[in-house]
Amino acid sequence: MPHDDATFDHLIHWVDDLEAAMARYEAAGLPTRHALTMPGFRNAAWGVDDERYVELATVDDWDAVATSPYAGSLEILKPAIDELRGSGLLTFAVDVRDARATAARLRESGREVEDVEVRFEEKNAGFVEVFVRDVPAYFPFFITYDPPRAMIARMRAEHRAAQGITFDNCPDLVALLIRSAEPDADARLLADLVGCSVNDATVALPGAEVRFEKGERAGLYGIVVRGPESSAMPAEVAGVTVIVET
């Protein structure tokens, strides 16, 4: 049983050119929508379903973003962003019932943990993120939404229904792909963090399993998809390797 009902929430694809990346996703049959604009920061998302998504994110002005609600999270992520030297997969979020309880559990186990709260007072909404600082940067952070993710998903579903939007012809996200110098060991480490089972180098995270493989340049590099029309998808989308699984 995953700790705190941990499930995959979203994957962050850092991009240099948001509009160009969105166009590549669209051409691959992965519909994206602009999601958020704030000082220095913009993003969009491919909504896999009403709970899971892939976020396309970019910073246009690092000085301006220092005054935004995302300043704390982006400060933590910036070394990994700089290490990318361009576009690429950055990290992913795991939804839990209580991120602060997760942070306490991790601290008690000896982990170095930092938590950040983001609030949008005008919407009476926000979230808490928990970053584990003493694991590889591409390992996930934990997130808890207010209102809870299930409620947000219901609101998204209602909005889709009103707009006549469906997921009928959209591929499903099956797995995240990570290269590692020690794939079996890193898979066990991730499994211990999130409380999921592990089979060799695959962590059974609900919502998107995580598959580690041997590689010289460690990090997230691709996704596995399955579903309608996915067989026609290109092998690369905006710098991300896409593997189609039947």
- The DSSP secondary structure of the chain, one letter per residue, reads --GGG-EEEEEEEE-S-HHHHHHHHHHTT--EEEEEEETTEEEEEEESSSS-EEEEEEES-HHHHTTSTTHHHHHHHHHHHHHHTSSEEEEEEEE-S-HHHHHHHHHHTT--EEEEEEEEGGGTEEEEEEEETTS-TTS-EEEEEES-HHHHHHHHHHHHHHHT---TTPPEEEEEEEEESSHHHHHHHHHHHHT--EETTEE--TTSEEEEEE-SS-EEEEEEEESTTGGG--SEETTEEEEE--
**pLDDT value, residue 1:** 59
Query: What is the chain's mean pLDDT, rounded?
Result: 94
Is pLDDT at 123 greater than 90 in this prediction?
no
Band of the pLDDT at 36, cuts 50, 70, 90? confident
Q: What does the block give as tokens for 220?
A: 């997230």
Average pLDDT score over residue span 132-147: 97
**pLDDT value, residue 231:** 75
Between strands 219-226 and 236-237, the pairing is unpaired
Band of the pLDDT at 104, cuts 50, 70, 90? very high
Q: What does the block give as tokens for 96?
A: 């839990």
CATH topology (fold) of 7-244: 2,3-Dihydroxybiphenyl 1,2-Dioxygenase; domain 1 (3.10.180)
- Percent of the chain residues past pLDDT 90, beyond the cut: 85
| pTM tops 0.85, yes or no | yes
pLDDT digits 0-9 by tens, 176-209: 999 999 999 999 999 999 999 999 999 999 999 9
